[in-house]
Amino acid sequence: MAVTLEQAQKVGYTCLKALLRFAFMVANNLVAIPSYVLYLIVLQPLRILDSNSFWYIEGVLFKWLLAMVASWGWWAGYTVVEWGDDVKAVSEDEAMVLVNHQATGDVCTLMMCLQDKGTVVRQMMWLMDHIFKYTNFGIVSLIHGDFFIRQGRTHRDQQLVLLKDHLEKYYRSRNRKWIVLFPEGGFLRKRRETSQAFAKKNNLPFLKHVTLPRLGATQVILKTLVAPQENGTPSGGDSVRKESKSKGLQWVIDTTIAYPKAEPIDIQTWILGYRQPTVTHVHYRIFPVKDVPAEPEALTNWLYQRFIEKEDLLTHFYETGAFPPLQGQTKAISREMTLSNLWLVAIQSFAFLSGGMWYCLFQYLYHCLF
């Protein structure tokens, strides 16, 4: 089949655009990540004198770094529409976020859609696969205090002990409020067959769009972060705000990510932008932590039920193009998540100016010393 001139031009334009985007991403990383590290090195005296102020500044810089990642997708036309409960109502409270996992782009999607949720991003802790420690963003996550978890039965018990120690050491001391984890323990395409076999063996529902979650990390987080006496009320309205001063983990936010035609976006697509503009849909459901059972068996059943509901949500979405309405609603309400291009340009400019400043400073010091 012969390739027309128009098709060749289109392919050429896509390749050129991908190359330019990749070059920009590399340049962005070369200035933004070292600048983040150097700012925090310079601010070490503040960490000793006033740790709260230090971690506040670190959180702001961390949010800006995540916004830069979000901008790569935003400017490629990869936007987000949100459904379900409004999580802004609990953005100042402590919450655990449970997310289904389909591809590397899930993390980028969360980096984007949580940018407009108040202080959430700068006070957030991520649980991610240990392989991310060795990526370009690994040093940032290490400094921020995220937890890298190793998968597999041989590491499971040890990792849960390390997670508990990590939470006790870093979560409250750095004023963290939201903690994000992917309970499935891996990508859908990698775990689906194993999960379905386990479900069949144990007389559990057959799931296609999600896998059965693992209990360990969720149980450790609840045991470590929930206050002995916990208050909570359903999301929305004044009742949420009245509970905002409660101590300890207050909410569980069940988050479901859906891609059109069940075709997830991976990090390569996010960076290179060769896919057509895509709207990713994110559904939230908020549960008071007092309604989450503590006993292992009951918690396992509760967690399974959340992912069975995710299966129903995703089935409905893939059939209709929309999530179903919440209980008590006659029609599902969606909210288009937006980012300010001016703000994104401002933080990108700050990153490149910072990179230039550090370069000039090191050049000056080099000439002074040598």
Task: Please write the tens of the pLDDT for every residue from 318-364.
Answer: 999 999 998 878 888 899 999 999 999 999 999 999 999 999 999 98
178-181 vs 147-149, strand pairing mode: unpaired
What is the percent of the chain where pLDDT is above 70?
94
pLDDT at 111 over 70: yes
The pLDDT of residue 240? 40
Q: What is the mean pLDDT of residues 133-142?
A: 88
The H or E element spanning position 22 is helix 5-42
Q: What is the mean pLDDT of residues 263-274?
A: 92
Q: What is the mean pLDDT of residues 24-50?
A: 96
Residues 241, 262: Cα–Cα separation, whole Å? 36
pLDDT tens for 226-266 read 976 544 444 443 434 344 444 799 999 999 999 999 999 99
Token digits of residue 133? 């420690």
Of the listed ranges 26-40, 242-256, 265-279, the least confidently predicted one is 242-256
Distances (CA, A) of 236 to 67, 70, 115, 241: 27, 27, 20, 9
Higher pLDDT, 315 or 230: 315
In this structure, what DSSP letter does residue 226 have?
Answer: S
The full DSSP string for 268-292 is: HHHHH--SPPEEEEEEEEEEEGGGS
Of the listed ranges 60-74, 104-118, 123-137, 195-209, the least confidently predicted one is 123-137
The pLDDT of residue 155? 77
Contacts of 250 (CB under 8 A, 6+ apart): 90, 93, 94, 95, 230, 231, 232, 243, 288, 289
Round the average pLDDT of the chain to a whole number and report it.
89
Residue 156 pLDDT class (50, 70, 90 cuts):
confident
pLDDT at 133 over 70: yes
The pLDDT of residue 344? 96
The pLDDT of residue 3? 66
Q: What is the mean pLDDT of residues 275-298?
A: 94
Report helix, strand or coil for 208. Answer: coil
The pLDDT of residue 1? 53
The pLDDT of residue 234? 41
Backbone angles phi, psi at 240, to 5 degrees: -65, -45
Please name each of the domains of the chain with its CATH number.
78-227+247-339 (3.40.1130)
The pLDDT of residue 231? 41
Angle between helices 51-74 and 105-113 (to 10 degrees): 110
The pLDDT of residue 153? 74
Q: What is the mean pLDDT of residues 61-81?
A: 95
The pLDDT of residue 154? 76
- Reported pTM: 0.89
Check if the beta carbon of residue 305 is closer than 8 Å to that of residue 291: no
The pLDDT of residue 242? 41
